[in-house]
Amino acid sequence: MEPAPLSSLQEEDVEEREPAGEDSAFSAAAVPPRPATHQSQHKYAPLDWSAYFDEERRVAIPGTDDVFNVYTAGSEGPVVFCLHGGGYSGYVCAAVYLGTFDMFGQSDCVNANGSGLAEMLSMASRIKDKARVVAMDLRGHGKSTTSDDLDLSIETLTNDVIAVIRTMYGDSPPAIILVGHSMGGSVAVHVAARKEIRNLHGLVVVDVVEGTAMASLVHMQKILANRVQHFPSIEKAIEWSVKGGPLRNIESARVSIPSTLKYNESQGCYSYRTGLEETEKYWKGWYEGLSDKFLSCPVQKILLLAGTDRLDRALTIGQMQGKFQMIVVRHTGHAIQEDVPEEFASHILNFISRNKIGPNGVEIPGLIKKWGR
């Protein structure tokens, strides 16, 4: 695949030329020199995961060469186990804590440098007393390494998640809520349907519906090919992700995008870590039969959608029969958890509170906010 042109991504010339003239207030003599750092580089600088998660762990699966990278935050309450979509990474669940900051009215203390995070994290600790987040880099994504990173079959991905949960928690896991976005939503459904995870109490699927997904597969190769494929810097990749790519939240992109890239030594630029275009033979398996499987999962369920047109017939009937809760999150793109993290976090925590999930039935008062539909 030929690299996409980089001309549109080169640094902007921040020095504007002004008309000559001794009396001009904007002449070169009157204007102080600009700092060397470009504003665009500053605005899109990466943010470190440690501001959002407590720990990064390497989970080695016994009897295999597979090692999965896992991020954790919090130490008490039920586990919100997050599965990202294709091409993303576990960093997307940093949005859960981005969301808790805004819910407590602390968003104004964040500037372009990411400063103010300490104050926000102190408020977020109140959430971490009630629930904990575990975010996994799936096979072929992020920092996970396996014997076959291109085997993204639904069976393999499902087995991976079950193996990680068992390795981390043994036979007595805490109360678990599976949260999956897009491809990760399909994996979450398949894990829940297997009924092999003890103490599984909830399933949250984010913006994936069988009918819509199956219909879009014929366009997927074209969509992947039309992405900008190479970036001169990580900052430019972050900038593209919010200007022409899938995200709308700059701060979330500054956390999540770097882990989706790798440095190409031969070309001297950054490219995507995950070769999704090479896994086409698995795509149909991700979504085929997903709606019926979702409806049959014997746990409390919620479906978060970016638009009402995404429901297929099976889910429309199931929703009318009260088999799951559906919430339409408006004014957002496909990556709901990154575009509106405060609303996303609110829905997750309300789900835990409403269903009293946890050791003694977790109650989180005051979180049913304007987001309810």
Residues acting as catalytic residues: 182, 207, 334
Residue 236 to residue 238: CA distance in whole angstroms: 5
Q: Are strands 269-272 and 176-181 parallel, antiparallel or unpaired?
A: unpaired
- Residue corresponding to tokens 């968003």: 107
Phi first, then psi, for residue 56 (nearest 5°) are -115, 125
Residue 294 to residue 323: CA distance in whole angstroms: 10
Q: Are strands 67-73 and 132-136 parallel, antiparallel or unpaired?
A: antiparallel
- Tell me the three state secondary structure of residue 154: helix
Give 102's contacts (C-beta < 8 A, 6+ positions apart): 341, 342, 345
Position 240, amino acid: W
Phi first, then psi, for residue 70 (nearest 5°) are -135, 135
Q: Is there a contact between 33 and 259 (Cβ–Cβ < 8 Å)?
A: no
Give 106's contacts (C-beta < 8 A, 6+ positions apart): 116, 119, 120, 123
Residue 133 to residue 186: CA distance in whole angstroms: 19
Position 372, amino acid: G
- Residue corresponding to tokens 């879009």: 216
Give the CA dihedral 14, 15, 18, 20, nearest 10 degrees.
-170
Q: Is there a contact between 285 and 158 (Cβ–Cβ < 8 Å)?
A: no
What is the strand order of the sheet 67-73 is part of?
Answer: 55-60, 67-73, 132-136, 79-83, 176-181, 200-206, 300-305, 325-328
Q: How far is CA 162 from CA 126, 201, 218, 279, in A?
A: 29, 15, 30, 22
Residue 301 to residue 38: CA distance in whole angstroms: 46
